A = this chain, B = another copy of it.
Amino acid sequence: MKISGEMIIGLDCIKGEGKEIKSINPLTNLDVEPGYASAKKNDVNLACSLAWSAFKEYRKTKPEERAKFINTIAENIERLGDVLIDRAILETGLPKARLEGERARTCNQLRLFASIVLEGRHLDLRHDEALPDRAPLPRSDLRYQKIALGPVAVFGASNFPLAFSVAGGDTASALAAGASVVVKAHSAHLGTSELVALAIQNAAKTCRMPSGVFSLLYGSGNDIGAALVNDSRIKAVGFTGSRAGGTALMSIAQKRKEPIPVYAEMSSINPVYLLPKALEYKAIDIAKQFVIAQSMGAGQFCTSPGLIIAINGDGLDAFISECKTLIESSGSQTMLTKGIYNAFKSGVSTLKESGAISTIAQGQNSGGENQCAPILFEASAADFIRLPELSNEVFGAATLVLRCKDFDELLQVTEYLEGQLTGAIHMIDGDEDHARQLIDELELKVGRLLFNGFGTGVEVCDSMVHGGPYPATSDSRTTSVGSTAIDRFLRPLCYQDIPKQILPE
């Protein structure tokens, strides 16, 4: 499988005619060949037109056909072997083991959705039988199932070039729902995107899926993405990225003649609470765990711990002191893109310029371009509530420790917080009363509430919620990870008194 810089539109590979863009190796800031010509509006139109006609056919595929298609995508991605992994390393600077793990996760996720299709759970079938003799009025026969909304536009994320990109959770769940998909590739990993798209295209060919069930477009700037979301044949949008990007897509989607749902996973500082007894007895242990979680993937996870909240005291001092030792002896990692690195630097500067924070510790720069060394700040809870800029996500390994004067202030901070993907509580025996009060508040702010850990691992299973109140996501009623992610692309349909002879299977 070789990359060529061509768009994947339905069953064709087409060279774009727009501005050429290239991936950049973040380790060196040097271009990576080949060039990828941006799509033009007519390419968006073609992809959407094919997606619409394919949708009408694809949504009617039998469960076995659809599951086979999705499973074949997983096989094809695995068959790409090191070609895929090597390209992803080149474009993202992520380590090989991490990318291999992410590939496994991506393929497992595809297979999970294939199994859901086979089970038919997502259809949520219901049936209220007719009650012809009911008084005062008879009841009709009523059946219920869920059907796909229509073609879905997916925006690849930079920080998971496989699991939240071309064949990531959005695409997998949309295809499982019976939707066709048009992906706008993330410009940071164009070759990785093309390789995965070719794996999908080949699966579509092998499994005789309609042309247009999947397409991949490239685009510099925002025009192509905007055109895609504005296309009347697109009926939902999946996005993982910045708050600015997500809210821009939401705004476009809402101004359409027919507004459509945008599932944008945007920003989160993921508060971590250290309760008094836990700090008293486990400050050093928690510090060790925290420093690992903070620097994991250079902090480039949506669930990275950006905020630590604790009550002033010896336990907190011990925690901070241990973090300081560990962080100061740690090195730096290459960030995914120059843009992310610049945003990290600028976010750190904004915090520093607030005049309300002090730097506890910073790691060493290990050399190379776009390096992120972990950094730990401290501020008072009162200043955090006073200064909105302290609440902004700094994407990368930066964490702010909030010192609260008492538990009431800790609750005030919680009430002040915006919506978050995760909230973590560290507690041991004796912290229960505080924990219960905190949970009551924190439940209203997060999609996942976790204990004695950090939010960085997101399990793909039935009970997972990778979502949360705005601005963590645009729609707190949904999750982008786990089996219920498929529900985002479905809507209910009721059939009343449908004659037996035309009852669909």
Contact = CB atoms under 8 A, between A and B. Distances in A.
A444 to B, nearest CB: 7
B477 A492 contact: yes
25 contacts: A56-B440, A56-B444, A126-B463, A127-B463, A128-B464, A142-B461, A142-B463, A144-B462, A149-B477, A258-B470, A258-B471, A259-B474, A447-B492, A447-B493, A447-B494, A448-B493, A449-B496, A449-B498, A451-B497, A452-B497, A453-B497, A465-B493, A465-B494, A467-B491, A476-B491
A60 B461 contact: no
B493 A462 contact: no
A472 to B, nearest CB: 11
Interface stretch (A79-87, A109-117, A154-162, A431-439): A431-439
A396 interface: no
B461 A499 contact: no
Interface of A: 56, 60, 101, 126-128, 136-137, 139-140, 142-144, 147, 149-150, 250, 254, 258-259, 261, 418-419, 427, 429, 432, 435-436, 439-440, 443-444, 446-453, 457, 459, 461-465, 467, 469-471, 474-479, 484, 487, 490-499, 501-502, 504
B493 A137 contact: no
Contact of A502 (B435, B495, B498): B435
B493 A446 contact: yes
A72 to B, nearest CB: 25
A498 B465 contact: no
B492 A436 contact: no
A440 B57 CA distance: 10
Contacts of A427: 499
A474 B142 CA distance: 23
In order of increasing CB-CB distance, the 4 nearest A-B pairs are A450-B496, A144-B463, A465-B494, A142-B463
B463 A128 contact: yes
Given A432-B499, A432-B501, A450-B495, 19 more contacts: A56-B444, A60-B440, A101-B136, A139-B459, A140-B450, A250-B254, A258-B471, A259-B474, A435-B502, A439-B504, A448-B494, A449-B494, A449-B496, A449-B498, A450-B496, A452-B497, A453-B497, A477-B487, A477-B491
Contacts of A435: 499, 502
B254 A497 contact: no
A451 B150 contact: no
Contacts of A147: 443
A101 B137 CA distance: 11
Contact of A137 (B142, B457, B490): B457
B149 A476 contact: yes
Chain B CB count within 10 A is highest, among A127, A484, A494, for: A494
A463 B435 CA distance: 40
A440 B53 CA distance: 12
Given A140-B453, A432-B502, A258 B469 contact: yes
B137 A494 contact: no
Contacts of A254: 250, 254
A439 B259 contact: no
Contacts of A498: 449, 451
Given A250-B259, A443-B147, A492 B474 contact: no
Contacts of A150: 444
Contacts of A477: 149, 261, 487, 490-492
A240 B418 CA distance: 30
B432 A140 contact: no
A465 B140 CA distance: 13
A262 B250 CA distance: 15
